[in-house]
């Protein structure tokens, strides 16, 4: 416990995250926000003074109740200049944190924390040193700075400094964290799901657990459900187990040789992408003395395919509107506020940002479909060149036949892509149905997306 020490905690939370699609500070975990969880752990360890820095964009009616609740637990500091660098957030936070004995600096991106780690870090702190947790030689989070460093950082007023560089002026102490979770960073929804999964052991008693595993494990999955039993069996109807393509198991349908065979059956279902019902005679097939019969239905878990639409013009708006009803996870990207602001279809995420920044913020995998239809030919080509190097299920670009011919020639001549690679890009985009209007073009693109999703040829 650190009650007798004048040590505080500064939590830097920023604002809404484009990759997460939600403010990280307000992510929910076991009935409380991530911010509340961290604050509660610090308080339990005796760190009673804290500051939470939030971007001004979060001070809206939508988050008023959440902010009111947090204000009862910590001092909230509003960052009115989120466009400034991280040093500015540090400065305004340190100015408002009234401690002299030291300070934990904690990014909201780093959710792993416990009272034992806090106590161990405080126990080795010296005035002119800083402490970081480490696991197998890798440094983690948070950072605890001594009073001399705290004084030094408060003296910096330019706002152009970098914490990492300033810490190099002082001696570092490491403490063994005992686990790899101190390196955990939250940047995407998948990161958050993986963290939640590490915080609990899902028993698949609810479909929320299944959705969590689906979000965290980015590989094909199969759901195995005991649908009927007869006689003595290890698990009864309703028991569930999830099997990943790599053979990872979540939940249980009984263990032993039965579970081994069900795992093999699930991998077969994943490979064929077709559900199937299996009957198991426990004594005859598995030499299990309980001797009953178990019927297990195994189905592939259908992942919601990501759809990135670059361009919020008439066609992009129509496509996002139609595709929203086709079970796609849709993000529309454009750097024009007047266009992106016209998209209000429920479930469609919008990202108003420079296209280069957006590309770096988005995650790509084998289930990602990419549609390129911006207002500028060169921008289209830059996005296309970038996406060629990323995993995807579908990649298409709008354009006339002349635009496509010029694009292919430029890409071949500059070595960006071979003719074979370029032939796999859907351009001109969509099925050839003679579409002319933006809405018709959107329908032709959506038809192509469905064709790829269902892996059929029309």
> CATH top-level class for 7-183?
alpha beta
- Over residues 380-424, the pLDDT tens digits come to 999 999 999 999 999 999 999 999 999 999 999 999 999 999 999
Q: What is the SS3 assignment for 168?
A: coil
Domain 305-454 has CATH 3.30.365.10: no
Instruction: Return the DSSP state at 303.
Output: P
Q: Residue 281 belongs to what H/E stretch?
A: strand 276-281
Q: How far does the chain reach from its first CA to its final CA, in angstroms?
A: 67
List 14's β-bridge partners, or say none. 54
Domain spans, the chain? 7-183, 220-300, 305-454
The one-digit pLDDT tens for each residue of the chain (458 residues) are 555 578 999 999 887 666 666 788 888 777 788 899 999 999 999 999 999 999 988 888 878 888 999 999 999 999 998 878 788 999 999 999 999 999 999 999 888 888 999 999 999 999 999 999 998 888 889 999 999 999 999 998 766 788 999 999 999 999 998 776 677 788 777 777 777 776 665 666 666 677 777 777 778 899 999 999 998 888 889 888 899 898 888 888 888 888 999 999 999 999 988 999 999 988 888 777 777 899 999 999 877 789 999 999 999 999 999 999 888 889 999 999 899 989 988 889 888 888 988 888 788 888 899 999 999 999 999 999 999 999 999 999 999 999 999 999 999 999 999 999 999 999 999 998 898 999 999 999 999 999 898 774 33
State residue 301's pLDDT score: 85
State residue 303's pLDDT score: 75
Question: Interhelix angle for 189-199 vs 207-216, to 10°?
Answer: 120
Distances from the Cα of 392 to the Cα of 1, 130, 310, 315, 360, angstroms: 50, 43, 15, 21, 15
Q: Do 216 and 194 touch, CB atoms closer than 8 A?
A: yes
State residue 4's pLDDT score: 55
Going by their DSSP bridges, the two strands 22-23 and 143-145 should be labelled as unpaired
Query: Using CA atoms, how far apart are residues 373 and 375, in angstroms rounded to an integer?
Result: 7
SS3 content of the chain, % helix, strand, coil (to 5): 40, 25, 35
- Over residues 343-378, the pLDDT tens digits come to 988 889 888 888 988 888 788 888 899 999 999 999
Query: Using CA atoms, how far apart are residues 360 and 370, in angstroms rounded to an integer?
Result: 14
Asked if 7-183 and 305-454 have one fold, the answer is no
Q: Residue 170 belongs to what H/E stretch?
A: none
């Amino acid at each position: 416990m650190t009650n007798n020490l004048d040590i505080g905690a500064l939590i830097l939370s920023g604002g809404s995250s484009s990759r997460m699609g939600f403010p990280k500070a307000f992510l929910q975990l076991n009935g409380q926000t991530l911010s509340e969880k961290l604050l509660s752990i610090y308080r339990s360890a005796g760190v009673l003074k804290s500051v939470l820095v939030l971007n001004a964009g979060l001070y809206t009616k939508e988050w008023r109740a959440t902010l009111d609740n947090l204000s009862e637990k910590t001092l909230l500091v509003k960052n009115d200049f989120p466009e400034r660098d991280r040093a500015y957030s540090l400065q305004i936070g340190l100015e408002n944190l009234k401690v002299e004995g030291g300070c934990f600096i904690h990014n909201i991106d780093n959710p792993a924390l416990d009272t034992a780690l806090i106590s161990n870090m405080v126990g080795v702190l010296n005035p002119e040193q800083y402490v970081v947790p480490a696991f197998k030689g890798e440094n983690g989070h948070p950072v605890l700075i001594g009073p001399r460093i705290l004084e030094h950082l408060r003296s910096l007023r330019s706002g152009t400094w970098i914490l990492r560089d300033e810490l190099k002026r002082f001696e570092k102490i490491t403490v063994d964290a005992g686990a790899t979770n101190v390196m955990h960073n939250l940047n995407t929804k998948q990161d958050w799901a993986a963290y939640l999964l590490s915080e609990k052991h899902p028993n698949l008693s609810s479909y929320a657990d299944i959705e969590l595993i689906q979000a965290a494990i980015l590989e094909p999955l199969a759901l195995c459900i005991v649908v009927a039993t007869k006689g003595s069996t290890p698990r009864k109807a309703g028991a569930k187990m999830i099997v990943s393509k790599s053979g990872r198991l979540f939940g249980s349908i009984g263990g032993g040789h039965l579970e081994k065979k069900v795992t093999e059956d699930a991998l077969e279902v994943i490979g064929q992408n077709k559900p199937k019902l299996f009957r198991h005679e426990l004594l005859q097939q598995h030499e299990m003395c309980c001797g009953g019969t178990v019927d297990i239905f195994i189905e592939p878990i259908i992942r919601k395919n990501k759809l990135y639409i670059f361009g919020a013009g008439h066609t992009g708006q129509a496509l996002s509107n139609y595709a929203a009803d086709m079970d796609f996870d849709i993000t529309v990207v454009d750097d024009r506020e007047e266009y992106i602001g016209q998209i209000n279809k429920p479930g469609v995420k919008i990202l108003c940002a420079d296209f280069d920044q957006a590309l770096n913020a988005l995650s790509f995998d084998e289930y990602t479909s990419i549609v390129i239809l911006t207002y500028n030919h060169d921008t289209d080509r830059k996005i296309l060149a970038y996406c060629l190097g990323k995993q995807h299920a579908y990649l298409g670009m709008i354009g006339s036949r002349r635009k496509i011919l010029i694009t292919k020639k430029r890409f071949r001549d500059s070595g960006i892509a071979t003719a074979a690679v370029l032939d796999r890009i859907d351009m001109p985009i969509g099925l050839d149905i003679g579409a002319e209007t933006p809405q018709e073009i959107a329908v032709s693109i959506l038809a192509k997306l469905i064709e790829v999703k269902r892996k059929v040829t029309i």
